[in-house]
Amino acid sequence: MKIIHYINQFFAGIGGEEQADQAPFIKAELIGPAVALNAMVKPNGGEVTHTIVCGDNFMGSHTDEAVETILGFLADKEFDLFVAGPAFQAGRYGFACGTICKAVHAKYGVPVLTSMHVENPGVEMFHKDMPIFIGGKSAAKMRSDVTLIANYINKDLTGQPHTGAVDEKFFPRGVRHQAWPAGEKIAARRGVEMLIKKLKGEPYQTELVIPAKDLVPIAPAIKDLSKARIALCTTGGIVPVDNPDHIQSASATRWGRYDVSGMDRLESGVFKTIHAGFDPAAANADPNVIVPLDAMRAYEKEGKFGSLHPYFYSTVGTGTTEAEARRMALEIIPLLKQDNVNAIIMTST
């Protein structure tokens, strides 16, 4: 079995954020985690033949170009499996791994595998498209994450049957196959036994797990907009030019609160975006395209709403986990309540 492994610029040893715009390239050698994967599958006849490297920003900002280039690299290569990552909790890396795996499978029909932490947004985006192994938060879990992938591959290499998402530790894809496990009770009996346990209040494990959805109820309409206090919030990364709160350009864990009282607009050169998921040129030239302070001031003067909260709140959405977003929201909400804010306008990119 010949395997091609995709990694980002960091795990290729090229550099960190400053090299995230690295264009894709391919080498007929083992780089980074490809070394470990190759060592684990080689005894059973597997071989990683090539490593593909692409910067996370390049994949995020030039997705079509990156995918087309990488698919071109593969056109004359003989390979049986495509592996990406592990991506850990890095949102841009997870997006890159999922994107290229999905494209390679669609184009060449070979199996694809990757690995991500449960809070990586790539899991929600791609878990139905491919096996995504349940990985650790950081590179400290590199060996164990690669081992999960290798164990799965080694089953194919040695002719062992696959035993499903729970046993092999990848995120369920919603794909079900009829099977007759040796020694197991028939489904009717298992179902009745579960029902009896439920009626008795005893613990049981359903065989059809329905994922829980964190649904946010729709807020009621504002009865009198002319008296409403409105605030501006954004995930577009607009900050003062010195980024005083050191908000990350992706996978953010920080947010900022910036005073705009007395301002009719956000001036270029005073404010900018630090968001790594889109071309910043337009936002840097006119930050109001992300945080529409100019339009809100005009509406405020026209009496379309009561008043504008004197601060806007900013973070970066790309790659930011649901858990971090929820935490930041819970930190911001009390500040809005203190000023009797009735509604917020949440802008993105």
CA atoms within 13 A on the CB side of 119: 15
In terms of Cα–Cα distance, which of 153, 114, 128, 131 is closest to 33?
114
Average pLDDT of the segment spanning 53-72 = 93
Residue 214 has pLDDT above 80, yes or no: no
pTM of the entire structure? 0.67
Residue 304 has pLDDT above 80, yes or no: yes
Range of 158-162, 217-221, 307-311 with top mean pLDDT: 307-311
User: What is the pLDDT at residue 142?
Assistant: 96
Low-confidence winner among 31-45, 164-178, 229-243 (lowest mean pLDDT): 164-178
Both structure tokens of 264: 């009719």
Residues 115, 88: Cα–Cα separation, whole Å? 7
pLDDT 10s digits, 265-286: 999 999 999 998 888 999 999 9
Percent of the chain with pLDDT over 70: 99
User: What is the pLDDT at residue 72?
Assistant: 97
Percent of the chain with pLDDT over 90: 74
Phi, psi of 32 (to 5 degrees): 55, -130
How would residue 340 be classed by pLDDT, with cut points 50, 70 and 90? Answer: very high
Distance of CA 286 to the CA centre of its chain: 28
User: What is the pLDDT at residue 182?
Assistant: 72
DSSP-derived letter for residue 13 is T
User: What is the pLDDT at residue 217?
Assistant: 87
pLDDT 10s digits, 85-111: 999 988 889 999 999 999 999 999 999
Phi, psi of 201 (to 5 degrees): 80, 20
Average pLDDT of the segment spanning 11-37 = 93
Residues 114, 255: Cα–Cα separation, whole Å? 30
Average pLDDT of the segment spanning 38-48 = 97
How would residue 252 be classed by pLDDT, with cut points 50, 70 and 90? Answer: confident
Residue 339 has pLDDT above 80, yes or no: yes
Tell me if the bond preceding 86 is cis, omega within 30° of 0: yes
Low-confidence winner among 15-24, 109-118, 138-147, 302-311 (lowest mean pLDDT): 15-24
Contact by Cβ (8 Å): 249, 274: yes
For residue 196, the SS3 value is helix
pLDDT 10s digits, 154-208: 999 999 988 888 899 999 887 777 777 677 788 889 899 999 999 999 998 887 7
